[in-house]
Chain A
Amino acid sequence: METGTWKVKTGLAQMLKGGVIMDVVTAEHAKIAEEAGACAVMALERVPADIRAAGGVARMADPTVIEAIMKTVTIPVMAKCRIGHFVEAQALESMGVDYVDESEVLTPADEKYHVWKHDFKVPFVCGCRELGEALRRLHEGAAMIRTKGEAGSGNIVEAVRHMRGVTEGIQQVVNASEAELKELATEYRVPVEMVKEVKKLGKLPVVNFAAGGIATPADAALMMQLGAEGVFVGSGIFKSSNPEVRAKAIVKATTHYRDAAIIAEVSKNLGDAMMGLDIKQIPSEELLAQRGW
């Protein structure tokens, strides 16, 4: 019996596909998410919209909060560590968290290195804005990727930009000659074998979810139609006026993402969505997606 293998790390992400991973800050939230059909929850002290509003340094959540959530639900529980903060990651692993998100939503701890994720038994998910960033994270050992979007904004525009960035990158690799593959690998700062694998598969070698700005069932279905294999919804659910109903609607829209009639039906009477932000109004130093490289 072998634990912590690449197959079981990437395999859990494969089991999450077609599903919705919801940010929760209490055990009650977690229960609502599970009841609504979430395939996993992300245990946090504050949702990104509140982290953004609070300012200051955002760190790993209090383990008490994470443990309360782990005790309450039977679905996988994820938690965030700061970029490069391998000790926060070690703590999360020791608690038995099912997936660690090395996340730009928290304040980065290292400006040079992300966590070397191959050293861990717990799998990691990391954010990206384009293919090169995704491959750098994979090289460090991420077993799942999510496009970053702009967390806590309630605005889907950055999520769309980043998903298109990944897709266009893959298309470029698929069409590249042997010599161009070497150039791309140099540009992406990854071994050429990784780029060749993308060319062979025509997709990322791990599961890719969308994140950062999903607030409605139609947003979730949009990301799925653009190629996401599932979605993270952060502030979008528990910052809305009726989280139970909205959570269920987003779960249905993610499964039936090509069925316009179902998306229209589940979009009815959801109450107010979270207040969104115009990305252009956010000062550039406050854009979370720019954290990480």
Chain B
Amino acid sequence: MDAENKRMEGSMKIGVLASQGAFAEHISILQKLDTEAVPVRLPEELRGVDGLIIPGGESTSISRLMSSYNLMSEIASMAGGGMPLFGTCAGMILMARGISANGTESLALINIRVRRNAFGRQVDSFETELAIPVLGDKPFPAVFIRAPIIEKCDSGVDILARLKDGTIVAARQGKLLVTAFHPELTDDLRLHRYFLDIVSGKL
């Protein structure tokens, strides 16, 4: 990494939506990457952030809390203005334009259709080694908890990872990154670093 990029990353500030869910885990990973991370519960806490992570949690719960105090509309408008977003599990659901058979209000940002709880109930939650070519040859330790899947990707969306049976579980559209699994539950920092590279404009 050259000196200029390092300086840029050092000055980045990433918001982590802290309405409900595993936000502390994302903040801890960002700190390991020497990046300033701030919890966001209210619109004014978005001021000055260069990117936003929406964590795993319960999507209906997060959605209700985002709708209060105008947080949903503020995030949508900042994303419209080019703010990068990274959504994991519930975060992916909340960023999707389409959610099968569900009334959850979402930000409707990324051109994918998702299905919630697509693998079944908690006893069907699983861990697996996942190939993510943009991160290199080493597989990623992916944790799927009552996870959603991406049923369909529309124009402009790149598929980043599939399970062995072909199910799409990670995707990117411009500055929007989504995973059906939980990189925040592992010690592998590569997906967060990938997101920071999107934020800094390197990728």
Contacts and interface: CB of A to CB of B under 8 A. Distances in A.
Contacts of B122: 8, 12, 76, 96-99, 122-123
A93 interface: yes
Contact of B21 (A7, A15, A248): A15
B64 A98 contact: no
A3 B123 contact: yes
Contacts, number: 121
A19 B58 contact: yes
A40 interface: yes
Interface residues of B, number: 38
B115 to A, nearest CB: 11
Contacts of A123: 122
B145 A12 contact: yes
B61 interface: yes
Contacts of B25: 14
A74 B58 CA distance: 9
Contact of A7 (B22, B61, B90, B185): B185
A5 interface: yes
A8 B64 contact: no
A255 B123 contact: no
Interface string A90-109: 00010011110000000000
A248 B90 CA distance: 20
B146 A76 contact: yes
B31 interface: no
Interface in A13-42: 14-19, 34-40
B121 to A, nearest CB: 4
Contacts of A4: 123
A255 B127 contact: no
A179 interface: no
Given A19-B57, A19-B58, A75-B58, 8 more contacts: A14-B56, A15-B89, A18-B18, A18-B20, A18-B23, A37-B61, A99-B122, A248-B64
